[in-house]
């Protein structure tokens, strides 16, 4: 058997994980090489791991998260308003499977965006596509999609994404186009996808930000129904750094 030919065929078939493992196998002394059935299992496991890593890298790249935040970097304690048990439960992804929202509130600098990005990265690792938008960027993309005719395509992309992160909600009042779009997005995602929203304002003060009372009722009802609420406390983490 021509081992070099086999290695080239694996690479040509884009089986990168198998190719790397097979290369390692060939570099081992003959007496240390595993049995064929063991080797087959190792090759399959290596390829599966390689594909998972590639998928995670792709999902993290397309999510465009604001911070390179890892779950283990998130500060969890009762004084901060984020018990470790609650955070670990969220990291397990039940909210993603059940399409449950997460509403994160707290003063500026307390780590709301970092927490949202950590959960977003964890979702990517678990195989869930994620989209991150600051509200400023969200408004810009909305306006651009209206102009270039991709508005419906953009809405459909958001509707199909398992996790949507909207950061810094409530910095400015929504106009008519923005609140109607947000209502449509939340309607499309209701019980079909999870949404994380961060805001400096407590949830009770979100109503005036939306503006129109009837539309505000619809938006907040879809956001807050069956939602986890996290109210972060403490001094600004930026000052500590």
Model confidence over 128-173: pLDDT tens digits?
A: 999 999 999 999 999 999 999 999 999 999 999 999 999 999 888 8
**Are 18 and 98 part of one and the same domain?**
no
Q: Give yes or no for residue 53 having a pLDDT over 70.
A: yes
Q: What is the pTM of this model?
A: 0.85
Q: Which residues contact 54 (CB under 8 A, 6 or more apart)?
A: 16
The arithmetic mean of pLDDT across residues 217-229, rounded, is: 91
The range of the structural domain enclosing residue 7 comes to 3-62
**Are 112 and 203 part of one and the same domain?**
yes
Q: Which of 62, 91, 107 is the last residue of a domain?
A: 62
**Are 180 and 117 part of one and the same domain?**
yes
Domain count, the chain: 2
């Amino acid at each position: 058997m021509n081992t070099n030919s086999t290695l080239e065929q694996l690479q040509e078939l884009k089986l990168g994980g198998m190719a790397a493992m097979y290369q390692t196998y060939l570099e081992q002394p003959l007496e240390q090489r595993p049995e064929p059935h063991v080797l087959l299992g190792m090759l399959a496991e290596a390829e599966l791991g390689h594909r998972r890593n590639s998928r995670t890298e792709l999902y993290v790249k397309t999510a465009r998260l604001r911070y390179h935040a890892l779950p283990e970097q998130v500060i969890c304690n009762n004084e901060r308003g984020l018990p470790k048990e609650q955070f670990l439960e969220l990291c397990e992804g039940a909210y993603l499977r059940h399409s449950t929202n997460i509403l994160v509130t707290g003063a500026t600098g307390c780590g709301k965006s970092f927490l949202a990005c950590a959960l977003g990265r964890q979702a990517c690792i678990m195989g869930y596509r994620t989209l991150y938008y600051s509200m400023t960027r969200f408004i810009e993309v909305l306006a651009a999609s209206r102009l270039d005719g991709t508005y419906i395509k953009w809405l459909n992309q958001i509707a199909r994404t398992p996790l949507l992160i909207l950061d810094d909600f409530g910095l400015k009042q929504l106009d008519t186009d923005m609140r109607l779009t947000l209502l449509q997005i939340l309607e499309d995602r209701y019980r079909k996808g999870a949404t994380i929203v961060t805001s400096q304002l407590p949830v009770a003060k979100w109503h005036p930000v939306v503006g129109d009372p009837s539309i505000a009722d619809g938006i907040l009802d879809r956001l807050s129904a069956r939602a986890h609420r996290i109210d972060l406390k403490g001094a600004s983490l930026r000052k500590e750094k």
